Amino acid sequence: MKKTIITLAFCVVLFSCNENKTEFSSNENLIDQKIDSLLKIMTLEEKVGQMNQYNGFWDVTGPKPDGGDAAKKYEHLKKGWVGSMLNVTGVKNVRAVQKIAVEESRLGIPLIIGFDVIHGYKTLSPIPLAEAASWDLEAIQKSAEMAAEEASAAGINWTFAPMIDISRDARWGRVMEGAGEDPFLGSKIAEARVNGFQGKDLNAHNTIAACAKHFAGYGFSESGRDYNTVDVGTSTLFNTIFPPFKAASEAGVSTFMNSFNELNGIPATGNTYLQRDILKEQWKFDGFVVSDWGSIIEMKAHGFAKDKKHATELAANAGSDMDMESYAYVEELANLVKEGKVKEEFIDDSVRRILKVKYELGLFDDPYKYCDEAREKDVLGSEKMHNASLDMAKKSIVLLKNEGNLLPLSKKGQKIALIGPLAADKTSPLGSWRLAADDNTAVSVLEGLEKYDGNNLTYAKGTDLTLEQPEFIKELKINTADKSEFGKAITVAKNADVVIMVLGEHGFQSGEARSRAVLDLPGLQQELLEAIFKVNKNIVLVLNNGRPLTINWADKNIPAIVEAWHLGTQSGNAIAQVLYGDYNPSGKLPMSFPRSVGQIPIYYNYKNTGRPVLTDPGIVFWSHYSDVENTPLYPFGHGLSYTSFVYENLNITDTFKTNGTISVSVKLTNTGKTKGKEVVQLYIQDKFASITRPVKELKGFQMVELNPNETKELKFSLTKKELGFYNNTGDFIIESGDFNVYIGGSSNTVIDAQFNLNN
Ligand code: BGC
């Protein structure tokens, strides 16, 4: 009898899944109906099961586990008590877990398989902060598209990306995962990444569901220490933190992830205001919210939940739809519903959201659609992936300084010394969050340069950055004593025309839980740089890092500095092409570089104080430091080219009243000798408002490529959306008054004009 019921139920599910495949993927109503019928036959435990996500557990293609946690997870899978798994990778493994869910559980509901595809899967693109430095939305979208194609070929159908936390704090290691400090740029990039991952059709076999994370405020952790307390006011929340999330929601992102931090006293995971009021009510987000890893149970340590059961109640009532690895929902939620502490309609709503994404992915049509071994073999690490990664890597490089045009290097037999612990490194350029990529798979700078002129190239490491092989989950051991390789490097430098020094952070020095209180070059690298400088001043410093660093000495003394971040698999090739001028750099910083850690948080869109400038020479009573300038070392938007650009004729046409726009135009000329790309940036300042406004806010940018002596007129249009702001009750308002408009190739080199908005 039991068998008959199960078979019957299975048929209902299959029937509801298989009929009319194409129509139902595009038909919301039909999906709703299918979900309705499915919900009717699900037990409470099965519903809760959909809200449960487990980490990969045993070698799924091997023997079944017979004890401990793995056995429990396996049993739960068979019972239909697992809705999703993360970190199960590779077609073989994904097929194996999917098979248990689909073929052994009562209702056969497929799993959604999540993974941190943060900047590529097997083939890595630059870390997201580096990609943001390209300001090239098309390229960024393409990069996410490639990541989706590769990951989906390995069985993955859901990425925990994009990470769109705005941050003004380079101490926070996770800045490498985001798009930097600006909400406007951050929103555009959020949209591009969502579109890239999800494509036009989530049902396609090479697109995957995206996840906007971490909602919300995670990038504002106090003192840049990961997981730390966040306390921000309404204005910062609405004008700075929310915009990229709103943009992701409007772009149709399938899922959100909440965050580890508390926000103004309430952990994000148990935060009804964030998840229900803002996200689901105000923004009408109809996907689902997954908790961060263990963030439900962590509410206990926060001092917000009494115990696991209480944490479960708080999270479910606050609108966290899926529990990642807290084992809370699976153990406690059904009982809480039975006790009346969590409404069953909340459970139904969560399950509906989760099933909807599964339907949209086409998992009910074919649970094994991402499990094609032939495709996996073809796509992973393919030439197409490598080409895309190289293209993105070149676009992400920022030329910070180029005194005396030391760069580009001459191809006519210049003797080059390549020095530094990261120069031959084939792992570090992969950066953090590269879970599926293998060690030693990046092209090193040494390899990249050898392709140009190996005969005139000598290499010496100079020093080791770490004492032992770094591991993702372990604290790095930095070398602070062993200088035994200095001598060789000095000799090599003495005999060279130009020295290229590749210094910075190991790939695992940024990322989750990698906060740093000191942002100088770690270990002995500064000492090495100064020692080399003593014997050869023609130094090009190539930085590999996951965050802004404090490099005052280098800025003062080293003629050329190239910000090359952690650029992924094709790193060395991209760097070599830029150094030799086969690619003219066009990147612009998405985050300010501080002069000193003491300036942090430092960001271009700060507000004026009542005493913003020195008015009386020699008198101290104005807003400043007595030991460091207020300005950053390199401002947001900064980045040079091998050519030069001149901005002229900034014109404004105000037709706001008649057609709701302010038109701004500017003339840009390439005044140098090389073809080059410029990111033209438009900023506004609302000079006087009912709530104080930043001194500058980015409101538009365009990328333009010009031949030498070519001039182009560029047009921008500002609408209500760009001119308004959120007030302290979270309402969007637009006020009449005087505005400044600034245009330029950085947030501080600009020409300006004014207009008066008579709303
Ligand atoms: C991170 C998330 C990530 C999750 C799963 C957490 O520690 O905060 O961003 O998606 O782990 O790997």
Helix pair 344-361, 28-41: axis angle to 10 deg: 130
β-strands 158-159, 112-115 pairing: parallel
Q: How many angstroms from the chain centroid is the CA of residue 580? A: 29
The type of residue at 259 is: S
CB atoms within 10 A of CB 96: 18
Task: Give the confidence band of 115 by pLDDT, cuts at 50, 70, 90.
Answer: very high
SS3 282: helix
| Residue from 84, 116, 258 to probe ligand 1 pocket by mutation (most atoms less than 8 Å from CB) | 116
Q: How many angstroms from the chain centroid is the CA of residue 419? A: 30
Interatomic CA distance for residues 103 and 99, integer angstroms = 5
Instruction: Give pLDDT, residue 12.
Output: 39
Nearest alpha carbon to residue 677 among 649, 710, 633:
710
Interatomic CA distance for residues 742 and 647, integer angstroms = 11
Write out pLDDT tens, residues 491-533.
Answer: 999 999 999 999 999 999 999 999 999 999 999 999 999 999 9
Interatomic CA distance for residues 554 and 552, integer angstroms = 5
The conformation of residue 672, written as its DSSP 8-state character, comes to: S
Contact 186, 178 (CB under 8 A): yes
Residue whose Cα lies nearest atom 5 of ligand 1: it is: 293
The type of residue at 185 is: L
β-strands 539-544, 498-504 pairing: parallel
* Distance in Å, CA 261 to ligand 1 centroid: 13
* Distance in Å, CA 289 to ligand 1 centroid: 13
Whether residue 26 has pLDDT greater than 80:
no
Q: Per DSSP, which regions of 403-451 are E strands?
A: 416-419
SS3 25: helix
* Distance in Å, CA 274 to ligand 1 centroid: 19
* Distance in Å, CA 385 to ligand 1 centroid: 25
Contact 543, 561 (CB under 8 A): yes
Ligand 1 atom having least distance to the Cα of 259: 8
Mean pLDDT across the stretch 704-733?
97
* Distance in Å, CA 213 to ligand 1 centroid: 9
Write out pLDDT tens, residues 445-471.
Answer: 999 999 999 999 999 999 999 999 998
Mean pLDDT across the stretch 694-710?
98
* Distance in Å, CA 110 to ligand 1 centroid: 22
SS3 108: coil
Of 165, 182, 292, 323, the active-site residue reads 292
Mean pLDDT across the stretch 85-101?
97
| Residue from 113, 167, 221, 293 to probe ligand 1 pocket by mutation (most atoms less than 8 Å from CB) | 293
* Distance in Å, CA 211 to ligand 1 centroid: 11
Whether residue 607 has pLDDT greater than 70:
yes
* Distance in Å, CA 292 to ligand 1 centroid: 6
Task: Name the one residue in this structure whose structure tokens are 């921008």.
Answer: 716
Interatomic CA distance for residues 144 and 120, integer angstroms = 7
Interatomic CA distance for residues 92 and 415, integer angstroms = 50
Residue whose Cα lies nearest atom 6 of ligand 1: it is: 293
756, with CB counted inside 10 A (0-12, 13-18, 19+), is exposed
Contact 703, 585 (CB under 8 A): no
Ligand 1 atom having least distance to the Cα of 87: 12
Residue whose Cα lies nearest atom 4 of ligand 1: it is: 293
Residue whose Cα lies nearest atom 8 of ligand 1: it is: 292
Structure tokens at 358: 């599964």
Nearest alpha carbon to residue 60 among 51, 71, 50, 68:
71
Q: Using a 6 Å CB cutoff, which residues line ligand 1?
A: 86, 116, 160, 213, 292-293, 512
Structure tokens at 678: 């410029």
Interatomic CA distance for residues 449 and 241, integer angstroms = 41
- CA dihedral for 611, 555, 509, 467, sign (positive or negative): negative
Residue whose Cα lies nearest atom 10 of ligand 1: it is: 160
| Residue from 88, 163, 292 to probe ligand 1 pocket by mutation (most atoms less than 8 Å from CB) | 292
Contacts of 362 (CB under 8 A, 6+ apart): 21, 25, 202, 203, 205, 369
Structure tokens at 143: 């990069």
Instruction: Give pLDDT, residue 657.
Output: 83
Ligand 1 atom having least distance to the Cα of 177: 9
Instruction: Give pLDDT, residue 423.
Output: 98
For the chain, give the mean pLDDT: 95
Instruction: Give catalytic status of residue 391 as yes or no.
Output: no
| Residue from 113, 115, 160, 226 to probe ligand 1 pocket by mutation (most atoms less than 8 Å from CB) | 160
β-strands 211-215, 255-258 pairing: parallel
Residue whose Cα lies nearest atom 11 of ligand 1: it is: 293
Note every long-range contact of 338-343, with CB atoms under 8 Å and residues 24 or more positions apart, other chains counting.
Answer: 338/44, 341/313, 342/312, 342/313, 342/316, 342/317
* Distance in Å, CA 427 to ligand 1 centroid: 21
Write out pLDDT tens, residues 217-245.
Answer: 999 999 999 999 999 999 999 999 999 99
H or E element in which residue 194 lies: helix 183-198
Interatomic CA distance for residues 212 and 267, integer angstroms = 18
Task: Give the confidence band of 5 by pLDDT, cuts at 50, 70, 90.
Answer: very low
Q: Which range is least confidently modeled, 406-410, 523-527, 613-617?
A: 613-617
Q: Give me the percent of the chain exceeding a pLDDT of 70.
A: 96
Contacts of 456 (CB under 8 A, 6+ apart): 413, 414, 415, 416
- CA dihedral for 273, 276, 279, 283, sign (positive or negative): negative
* Distance in Å, CA 327 to ligand 1 centroid: 16
Residue whose Cα lies nearest atom 7 of ligand 1: it is: 293
Ligand 1 atom having least distance to the Cα of 214: 9
Instruction: Give pLDDT, residue 21.
Output: 35
**pTM reported for the whole predicted model:** 0.96
Mean pLDDT across the stretch 650-667?
92
Whether residue 588 has pLDDT greater than 60:
yes
Interatomic CA distance for residues 268 and 259, integer angstroms = 6
Q: Give me the percent of the chain exceeding a pLDDT of 90.
A: 92
Residue whose Cα lies nearest atom 12 of ligand 1: it is: 116
Interatomic CA distance for residues 595 and 403, integer angstroms = 19
Contact 453, 561 (CB under 8 A): no
Whether residue 163 has pLDDT greater than 90:
yes
Instruction: Give pLDDT, residue 472.
Output: 87
Q: How many angstroms from the chain centroid is the CA of residue 338? A: 40
CB atoms within 10 A of CB 332: 25
Helices (runs of H) and strands (runs of E) counted in the chain:
25, 25
| Residue from 512, 514, 515 to probe ligand 1 pocket by mutation (most atoms less than 8 Å from CB) | 512
Interatomic CA distance for residues 678 and 182, integer angstroms = 19
Structure tokens at 154: 């390995």
Instruction: Give pLDDT, residue 655.
Output: 82
Task: Give the confidence band of 268 by pLDDT, cuts at 50, 70, 90.
Answer: very high
Residue whose Cα lies nearest atom 2 of ligand 1: it is: 292
As a whole number of Å, the CA-based R_g of the chain is 27
Helix/strand/coil percentages in the chain, nearest 5: 35, 20, 45
Mean pLDDT across the stretch 421-425?
98
Task: Give the confidence band of 14 by pLDDT, cuts at 50, 70, 90.
Answer: very low
